[in-house]
């Protein structure tokens, strides 16, 4: 039985806010209020989804605060749909990527059908260029973004396997790593995944201080591996019509040119939140977005290459800088 149509599946993002003033991943020191940046990114994401005929809502633990900021930030954001959710998971304070761990609780809620029979959870620093075009999915399956090749090139298979198997609590047949920016499927599929996440959670908390990877992506990747070994069907969104993560920051391994991934449906640009936050949200146009992004990325990548040369001459670690074409 199939019930999954990616182009008609409602998409959700998460913005869990706290009073913590600690640094935020991929934001420059001195950036404006991170909550405002994330809200503006969410509004652009929502506008891009709407332009492709879809729907997007932002799930949060403090809709009153965010609604006030939406009203203050003005045009193109005031209509962003916010959904209040009561988060209960005992995520330890001070853990790296603290708020992102609440994705695990959302996956559990998705598994109950609270957010529909089919749903998608995406990061808010993503842009939907065109409707997702993915195969139909069986009743109890998930669509995931397999980035194992990139992770292995960056960190090595032994390191990846170590983290996954520590959190799993046992050896894995074929350890795979999945990007946390995209997860889509049926309520039944999310329920199966959530059951495995619950099993992994105690192992993760015990080992978190010694893991190379920390965050929701670590636990979800492990849980997907366990669920697959138990028979969960998957579709990989790393394909035309699917998802791509692309970096203007220096990386540990080479990544494809922007030209090679620019036509994917969903672009995840984690190093470019300030750009996304500043891009006009009214009447989103995909071609205009890509043209503006290429100009911005060309300048940033030039600076990254200069930093790379200086770093190497000073004896620092060499990084890789992406190419546009």
CA–CA dist 240, 270 (Å, integer): 20
Predicted local distance difference test score (pLDDT) of residue 25:
59
Predicted local distance difference test score (pLDDT) of residue 57:
97
Compute mean pLDDT per 10 residues along the chain, 325 residues long, and list them.
69 89 57 86 96 96 93 81 94 90 97 95 97 86 96 94 97 97 96 97 95 94 98 95 96 95 97 96 94 98 88 74 96
Predicted local distance difference test score (pLDDT) of residue 26:
61
CA distances to 51, 224, 258, 260 from 217, rounded to whole Å, are 28, 10, 24, 25
Q: Are 242 and 219 in contact (CB under 8 A)?
A: no
Predicted local distance difference test score (pLDDT) of residue 191:
97
Predicted local distance difference test score (pLDDT) of residue 296:
98
pTM as predicted: 0.93
Predicted local distance difference test score (pLDDT) of residue 21:
52
CA–CA dist 53, 207 (Å, integer): 43
Q: Are 77 and 43 in contact (CB under 8 A)?
A: yes
Predicted local distance difference test score (pLDDT) of residue 1:
41
CA–CA dist 285, 48 (Å, integer): 8
CA–CA dist 146, 186 (Å, integer): 18
**All domains of the chain in start order, with CATH:** 6-285 (3.90.550.10)
């Amino acid at each position: 039985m199939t019930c999954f149509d990616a182009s008609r599946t409602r998409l959700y993002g998460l913005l869990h806010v706290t009073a913590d003033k600690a640094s935020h991943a991929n934001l420059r020191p001195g950036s404006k209020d991170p909550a405002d940046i994330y809200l503006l990114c969410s509004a652009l994401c929502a506008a891009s989804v709407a332009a492709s005929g879809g729907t997007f809502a932002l799930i949060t633990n403090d809709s009153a605060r965010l609604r006030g900021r939406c009203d203050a930030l003005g045009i193109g954001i005031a209509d962003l749909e916010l959904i209040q959710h009561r988060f209960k998971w005992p995520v330890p304070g001070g853990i790296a990527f603290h708020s992102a761990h609440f994705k695990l609780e959302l996956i559990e809620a998705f598994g109950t059908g609270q957010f529909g029979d089919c749903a998608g959870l995406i990061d808010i620093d993503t842009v939907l260029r065109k409707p997702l075009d993915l195969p139909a999915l069986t009743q109890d399956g998930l669509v995931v973004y397999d980035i194992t090749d990139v992770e292995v090139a960056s960190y090595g298979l032994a390191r990846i396997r170590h983290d996954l198997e520590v959190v799993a609590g046992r050896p894995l047949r074929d350890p795979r790593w999945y990007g946390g920016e995209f997860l889509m499927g049926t309520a039944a599929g999310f329920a199966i995944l959530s059951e495995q996440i619950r099993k992994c959670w105690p192992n993760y908390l015990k080992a978190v201080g010694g893991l190379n990877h920390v965050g929701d992506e670590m636990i979800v990747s492990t849980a997907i591996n366990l669920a697959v070994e138990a028979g969960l069907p998957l579709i990989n969104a790393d394909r035309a019509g699917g998802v791509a993560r692309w970096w203007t920051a220096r990386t540990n391994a080479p990544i494809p040119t922007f030209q090679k991934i620019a036509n994917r449906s969903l672009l995840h640009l984690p190093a470019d939140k300030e750009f996304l936050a500043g891009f006009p949200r009214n009447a989103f146009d995909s071609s205009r977005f890509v043209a503006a992004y290429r100009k911005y990325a060309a300048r940033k990548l030039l600076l990254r290459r200069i930093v790379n040369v200086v770093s190497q001459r000073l004896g620092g670690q060499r990084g890789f800088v992406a190419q546009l074409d």
